[in-house]
């Protein structure tokens, strides 16, 4: 999301002359906007412009609530904005939150205007409450501000997702944005039950699941990858972190079982030939491979039953190996 301009709300107690002097010291010269129309308050123009090296500054002033906004544009807007903050007191998010939560109508309106122009997302819940304010002017301003902040919130989220996708192009950024591990598990299960194409975007979701912070999500992604035959996820399964002894709900038996299941999944995804069951270890590995590939669904087999329950449709899912 490209930033077209930087917006700063100057402390309402400052006058135009003080702002003009400060910007003059930064090398900016005043344009002709201030002379266009006579101001309501002598010496306090509602519009003004300054031009400097690498940036232009546009000023608007609402004399009713003393709202003073500086909009900085140009290649040097970031550095110029920092210089302005260093030389002029500007409202911060904490100041805006205080104004929006104050009792005075003018202070509330000033806070709403400032929040809308600076995309102060932290006040959005309070702004939503103000939409039912007894003052029609406040409620209307709150509605406009809520709409603008809502759009800013969506854009910020979209940019965050896009940035995450650029960092990890092989994963699904949308999947990783889901806050609940249970929701992420459900997405993986629906990939399986909806018979998603393992060669399409599903592999990105599986890779994200295999790298998830929650062991239940990782194990689900591993088993789903095997059932879907998603060979592109082989390396991600190989690199997947298995739950360790710090997971108190899993004893050594379950940790060993999950280790064996991963080995079986790797064999299945690689298409390795089934080895002769000449030893107990080989028999166990072949048995687990039949389970992960769904070739064995014996209802009397506790491991096969657990895997079937683990991979059941979300509405039918059981709790797992607790």
Please write the tens of the pLDDT for every residue from 251-300. 888 899 999 999 999 999 998 888 777 788 888 888 999 999 888 767 78
In the chain, domain spans:
1-90, 91-167, 173-316
Is 255 buried (19+), middle (13-18) or exposed (0-12) by CB count in 10 A? middle
CA-CA distances (angstroms) from residue 18 to 15, 110, 299?
5, 20, 82
Rounded to whole angstroms, the Cα distance separating 253 from 154 reads 46
C-alpha 129/C-alpha 150 separation (Å) is 14
Per-residue pLDDT of the chain (322 residues; tens, 9 = 90+): 345 789 999 999 999 999 999 999 999 998 766 555 677 888 899 999 999 988 999 999 999 999 999 999 999 998 999 999 999 999 998 899 999 999 999 999 999 999 999 988 888 888 988 999 999 999 999 999 988 887 776 565 556 556 656 767 777 766 776 768 888 888 899 888 888 777 767 888 899 899 999 999 999 999 999 999 999 999 999 999 998 877 777 888 889 999 999 999 999 999 888 877 778 888 888 899 999 988 876 778 899 999 999 999 875 444 444 3
Could you tell me the CA-to-CA distances from 300 to 76, 296, 306, 316 in Å, in that order?
A: 71, 11, 11, 19
219-229 per-position pLDDT tens digit? 999 999 999 99
Helix ranges (DSSP H) in the chain: 16-25, 77-87, 93-100, 105-118, 124-130, 136-167, 173-177, 181-193, 202-210, 215-228, 234-239, 252-270, 280-292, 302-310
How far is the C-alpha of 75 from the C-alpha of 3, rounded, in Å?
11
Strand partners, 10: 68, 90
Strand order in the sheet with 67-73: 6-10, 67-73, 55-62, 47-52, 29-30
Q: Supply the pLDDT for residue 276.
A: 78
* Confidence (pTM): 0.52
- Region class of 66: left (phi > 0), else alpha (psi between -120 and 50), else beta: left
Pairing assessment for the beta strands 6-10 and 67-73 based on DSSP bridges = antiparallel
Choose among 275, 228, 284: nearest CA to 256: 284
6 close to 77: Cβ distance less than 8 angstroms: yes
Fold of 1-90: TATA-Binding Protein (3.30.310)
CATH of segment(s) 91-167: 1.25.10
User: 237 phi and psi, to 5 degrees?
Assistant: -65, -40
Contact 141, 113 (CB under 8 A): yes
What's the DSSP call for residue 90? B
């Amino acid at each position: 999301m490209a930033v077209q301009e930087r917006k700063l709300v100057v402390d309402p107690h400052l006058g135009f002359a003080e702002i003009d002097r400060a910007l003059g010291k930064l090398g900016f010269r005043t344009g002709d906007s201030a002379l266009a129309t006579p101001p309501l308050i002598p010496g306090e123009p509602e519009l003004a412009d300054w031009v400097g090296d690498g940036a232009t500054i546009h000023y608007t002033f609402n004399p009713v609530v003393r709202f003073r906004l500086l909009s900085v544009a140009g290649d040097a807007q970031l550095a110029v904005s920092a210089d302005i903050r260093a030389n002029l007191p500007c409202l911060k998010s904490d100041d805006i939150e205080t104004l929006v939560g104050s009792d005075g109508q003018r202070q509330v309106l000033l806070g709403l205007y400032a929040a809308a122009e600076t995309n102060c997302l932290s006040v959005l819940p309070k702004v939503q409450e103000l939409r039912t304010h007894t003052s029609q002017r406040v409620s209307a301003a709150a509605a406009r501000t809520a709409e603008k902040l809502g759009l800013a919130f969506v854009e910020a989220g979209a940019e965050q997702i896009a940035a995450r996708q650029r960092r990890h192009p092989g994963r699904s950024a949308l999947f990783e944005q889901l806050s609940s591990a249970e929701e992420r598990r459900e997405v993986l299960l629906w990939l399986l039950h909806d018979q998603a194409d393992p060669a399409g975007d599903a592999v990105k979701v599986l890779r994200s699941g295999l790298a998830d912070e929650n062991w239940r999500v990782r194990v689900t992604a591993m088993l789903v990858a095997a059932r879907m035959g998603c060979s592109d996820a082989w390396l991600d399964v190989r690199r997947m972190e298995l739950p360790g002894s710090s997971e108190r709900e899993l004893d050594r038996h379950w940790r060993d079982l999950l280790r064996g299941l991963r080995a079986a999944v790797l064999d299945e995804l690689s298409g390795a030939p089934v080895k002769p069951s000449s030893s107990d270890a080989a028999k166990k590995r072949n048995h687990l491979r039949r389970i992960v590939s769904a070739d064995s669904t014996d209802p009397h087999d506790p491991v096969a039953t657990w895997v079937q329950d683990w991979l059941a449709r979300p509405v039918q899912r059981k709790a797992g190996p607790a």
